[in-house]
Structure 1
């Protein structure tokens, strides 16, 4: 799988997750699937209902509303993103345990050691595989 996202979209995700510090932030990325290319078109931001710096939670009702909107737009669910305010951009045990769909990627934004790091993973059962983030031009 090739994860395609614009620099502007990455910047928006980083700004949103940074604004939510010291809490974890989370959201969904939707868009198109073309062969092996997953192309982000939209960013859906959530409020972390736990207000926690080490976990995130969004109610099923709020997620269902976004999924319904994604379906109405004929988009695909590409990835779930969240931040690690103090941990590295590596999936935690909880991240892996609660990730339900291996076709949906996981994007983690880390602010550990006052440095911003963004990584993308495919999660399968008890393993994770890093995916390359391809930054594309706005009109691609």
Structure 2
């Protein structure tokens, strides 16, 4: 029997209780290298995508990711087709993976979430945002962030590369 994957099931899998929100994002070196390569290739445009894996003891282990098209085709903002995002989350869920969050690049920017990022983060508390800031002259700076609930500010998530 095919599992039902609707907007409500997608959002209910994202919005976690405060006690369940991961404080650490664990990323394989090979995955990080792949993401960096994509960021460099697409520079100066922002790239974006979905992170999925397992959440165990407040640690989110990224097992897979999927690039989503930045429909804004911008170097300062990103957005994606929400239907594609939902299909991707459902696809991961059918594989037994949990939705961890989003990743995107900040070409020639910093790893701090922009105002637009923060607004979107507030729509899905508990969703981890991995930001890869990149400049050909400065290289990469990488950081992960989360908003735990609708009234909190964003906070840094520990990033562990294995």
Tell me the TM-score normalized by structure 2: 0.79
2: CA distance, partners of 1:41 / 1:132: 17
Match of 1:40, SS? strand
- Name 1:129's counterpart in structure 2: 155
CA distance in structure 1 between the partners assigned to 2:131 and 2:82 by the alignment: 21
Equivalent in 89, 105, 113 of residue 67 of structure 1: 89
The aligned residue for residue 130 of structure 2 is 107
SS class of match (1:14)? helix
Mapped partners of 1:56, 1:87: distance in 2: 13
Give secondary structure in 2 for the equivalent of 1:33.
Answer: strand
CA RMSD of aligned residues (A): 1.3
- Tell whether 2:64 aligns with 1:37: no
Q: Could you say which structure has the larger radius of gyration? A: 2
Residue pair 2:47, 2:70 contacting (<8 A) in 1 also: yes
Aligned residue for 2:77?
A: 55
- Give the corresponding residue for 1:116: 140
SS at match of 2:154: strand
Select the structure that is richer in strand: 1
Give the unaligned 5+ runs of structure 2. Answer: 1-22
Task: Please give the secondary structure, in 2, of the residue aligned with 1:116.
Answer: strand
Gaps of 5+ in 1: none
How many angstroms apart in 2 are the aligned matches of 1:102 and 1:18?
29
**Cα offset for 1:71?**
1.2
1:90-105 correspondence to structure 2 within 5 Å: 90-99=112-121, 100-105=123-128
